[in-house]
Amino acid sequence: MDFRLSEEQEKFRQEIRDFLEGEIKQGLWEPKCDAWIMAHDPEFTKRVAQKGWIGLTWPKEYNGQGRSYIDRLILTEEMLRYGAPAACHWFADRQIGGAIVHYGTDEQKKELLPMILRGEAYVGLGMSEPDAGSDLASLKTKATEDGEEFIIDGQKTWTSGGSHMNWIYLVARTDPEAPKHKGISEFFFRTDLPGVNVVPIVDITGEAHFNEVFFENVHIPKTSLIGERNKGFYQILNQLDYERSGMERLMANYPLFEALIKYVKETKRKGQPLSKDPLVRAKLAQLKIELEIGRLHMYRVAMVMDEGRAPNWESSMSKAYGTAFEQRLAGAAIEIIGLYGQLSPESKWAPMHGMAYHSYLSSKGYSLQAGSSEVLKNILALRKLELPSQ
């Protein structure tokens, strides 16, 4: 047992910090909460790619860095700490590249992986549908074979980054006759094809980071199929473990936490800094305690991945824990700020650029996306604790 990071890892962390601080100093972007999923900045993504920080964990034979998941966790932790606009490459780096490495053909690897590594693939995840949320296997979007092509018809929803994506990773039904889990396949294709129509959904923050995506008679080459036909559901279960695994499920609002600490030190109430109020101190200390417990969960998940295992119950645990923490953080931030906490970012009176307002509203979705907390607790109960399903 050893909780220490290696000297190289500490150096790597410093290198990332220097890079991100340099970017902020140059005024290239401003730290934001939720930037990993909401802030699309193709130029930033290209600069990250040039550093070799996309595909960090991919095997070297595919021009990845062959580094550990702990290394990647350090990278993502710092991206989140600084609220860096990493949304363009996040999904591709986190799970799609890995899926292609794992399930793709040699041709697909040759064609698709370099594009991701260059920071040119902005990938949307086409999973949920209006009638297929937690019960993903009920999806209805069809992929019908037609000569050398598949024809896609149907609708996806809650597609994050849909309005920025140029590629989509889509799960669709390829065998309508088979039992529902056994007739699904995975596809990866460009979204600038005729028949693809993206309609943004405005969420309760007033922003539109997720979307409905309609597919009407969309022709894609057969080579878009990833992995085995009709085995897509089983492939995606594994990918979901990775989707849930990361620090973005704990630290998406880290800029708010930092700003809040600064705010209570600088803001006076009744003639003394808010930070001297025992209730405020207790609340913030509790958040710090919960954050650090969450970080331990996240590092454990990365260690599991470094052992070569998919982090199944571990990432279910860390995501359920982490998203609940973020919701408490956002709620506590508004409580601490008091009346000012309700002000939207547009108000000149809003402290901390209205971050608390944004995070509070945004965090309501955290325990739903990428597996609701209820689904995650089912996984924990059935797979870790081996409770009976009936």
Q: Which residues bind another protein (CB under 8 A)?
A: 1-6, 9, 70, 261, 264-265, 275-276, 280-282, 284-286, 288-290, 292-293, 296-297, 299-300, 303, 317, 320-321, 374, 376-378, 380-382, 384-390
Closer Cβ to another protein, 60 or 288, answer by number: 288
Nearest distance from C-beta of residue 71 to another protein, angstroms: 10
Pick the closer one to another protein by CB: 5 or 310.
Answer: 5
Cβ neighbours for 313, distance < 8 A, ≥ 6 positions apart: 379, 380, 383, 384
Instruction: Rank residues 147 and 271 by Cβ distance to another protein and give the closer one.
Output: 271
Q: HSE of 90 in the Cβ direction (CA atoms, 13 Å)?
A: 31
Residue 143, sorted as left (phi over 0), alpha (psi -120 to 50) or beta, turns out to be beta
Closest contact distance (angstroms) between CB of 306 and another protein is: 8
Q: Which helix (H) or strand (E) holds 7?
A: helix 7-25
Give the integer Cα–Cα distance in Å for 232 and 228: 7
Is the CB of 107 or the CB of 386 nearer to another protein?
A: 386
Is 126 or 351 the residue whose CB approaches another protein more closely? 351
Which is nearer to another protein, 205 or 312 (by Cβ)? 312
Q: How far is CA 379 from the centre of its chain?
A: 19
Distances (CA, A) of 28 to 17, 38, 307, 312: 15, 16, 37, 37
Place of tokens 């600084």: 82
Residue with smaller CB distance to another protein, 25 or 270? 270
Minimum distance, C-beta of residue 385 to another protein, in the bound complex (Å):
5
Dist. CA 360–CA 369, nearest whole Å: 16
C-beta of 203 vs 306, nearer to another protein: 306
Nearer to another protein, 275 or 312 (CB): 275
Q: How far is the CB of 108 from another protein (least distance, A)?
A: 33
Q: How far is the CB of 32 from another protein (least distance, A)?
A: 23
- Location of structure tokens 């509790």: 286
Instruction: Give the nearest distance from C-beta 75 to another protein in angstroms.
Output: 15
Burial class (CB in 10 A: 0-12, 13-18, 19+), 8: exposed
Q: At what angle do helices 254-266 and 355-362 cross, to 10 degrees?
A: 140
Residue 271 burial (C-beta neighbours within 10 Å; 0-12, 13-18, 19+): exposed
CB atoms within 10 A of CB 21: 12
CB of 14 to another protein, least distance (A): 17
The least CB distance from residue 102 to another protein, in Å, is 24
User: Token pair of 314, please?
Assistant: 């571990």
Strands 167-173 and 123-126: parallel
CB of 378 to another protein, least distance (A): 6
Residue 175 to residue 233: CA distance in whole angstroms: 12
Q: Which two tokens stand for residue 190?
A: 């460009």
Nearest to another protein of 308, 388 (CB atom): 388
Smallest gap from Cβ 278 to another protein, in A, equals 8
Q: Kindly report the number of other CB atoms within 10 A of residue 282's CB atom.
A: 10
Q: What is the DSSP string of 232-291?
A: HHHHHHHHHHHHT-SGGGT-TTHHHHHHHHHHHHH-EETTEEGGGSHHHHHHHHHHHHHH
